[in-house]
Structure 1
Amino acid sequence: MEDNTMDFQNTDLQGGSLQISTEVIGKIARCAALEIDGVAEVSCGRQNKKLKDLLEASSIQSPVMVEMRDGTANITLNLMMSFGARIPAVAEKVQENVKNAVQNMTNVTVSRVNLVIAGLAETTAAEQ
């Protein structure tokens, strides 16, 4: 079960302090992953909507998880890849883009970007 408490990265500024939640770091990571060609969506995979509605929200796994340890972030993303994408090459680009985006926007050091390939998004005739 996912812990619903939110971690904050605290930074002292000249006029006060700055706190950045792990939720914000996760949203930055999600957007950075979606910028890479070959990533169809950030998702734990296609789920049956009726089954999903029956489950409690707390038992549904989030597609982005951020864990703060000693001031550094460990980020795990669940991705749906586009069919035909070269997964290792795309994964390397995603890891680099996520790390750079989070570090540049928040000044939080990213120690790891873990990727879970949850499935493939098939292209339709209209997309070809």
Structure 2
Amino acid sequence: MGYNTYAEDGSLKISEDVIATIAGTAAADVKGIAGLSLRPFSDIKGIMRHKPAGHAIRMEMHDGEAVLDISVNLYLGAHIPEVATELQTRVKDAVQTMTGISVSKVHVHVAGVVLTDEAPAVE
């Protein structure tokens, strides 16, 4: 599936995978996040919906605005409210800037904790 937008010269279709990639890249820059989680999301009825491996981000359109769900793992010791707020801001800004799609909400799901204090330094 993709999101369609129209201009005077024609149409533009942006894949949900592209939006997920943008969101995932923005998430990688947030201090405290160990990585995306591959856990499946459930719908309103509680039925698990399995997406293919690699999909930790789900996007839905509501009234012309995107609602994103992102599932992440955090490093041990991360302050969850601060990390979640930073993640929401960065993902929303990145998606809106790169695609022009308005993002109304970014739901953060903390799926797990990595039992190290932070990522190892790369030399």
TM-score above 0.5, yes or no: yes
Max radius of gyration: which structure? 1
| Structure 2 partner of 1:53 | none
Tell me, yes or no, if the aligned pair for 1:71 and 1:109 is still in contact at 8 Å: yes
Question: What is the Cα deviation at residue 9 of structure 1?
Answer: 2.0
1:93 is matched by which residue type in structure 2?
E
Tell me, yes or no, if the aligned pair for 1:9 and 1:71 is still in contact at 8 Å: no
Cα shift readout 1:26-52 (whole Å, capped 9, x = no counterpart): 11111111110100001136xxxxxxx
Distance 2:52 2:36 in 1: 18
Question: What is the Cα deviation at residue 22 of structure 1?
Answer: 1.4
SS of the aligned residue for 1:36 comes to coil
Does residue 88 (structure 1) correspond to residue 88 (structure 2)? The answer is no
Q: Which one of the candidate residues 11, 35, 53 is aligned to 1:41?
A: 35
Does residue 71 (structure 1) correspond to residue 67 (structure 2)? The answer is no
Question: What is the Cα deviation at residue 84 of structure 1?
Answer: 0.8
Q: How many residues align?
A: 110
Q: Which one of the candidate residues 4, 14, 17 is aligned to 1:20?
A: 14
Distance 1:122 1:20 in 2: 37
TM-score calculated relative to the size of structure 1? 0.76
Tell me, yes or no, if the aligned pair for 2:72 and 2:109 is still in contact at 8 Å: yes
2:71 is matched by which residue type in structure 1?
N
TM-score calculated relative to the size of structure 2? 0.79
Distance 2:57 2:113 in 1: 17
Distance 1:58 1:80 in 2: 18
Distance 2:83 2:95 in 1: 18
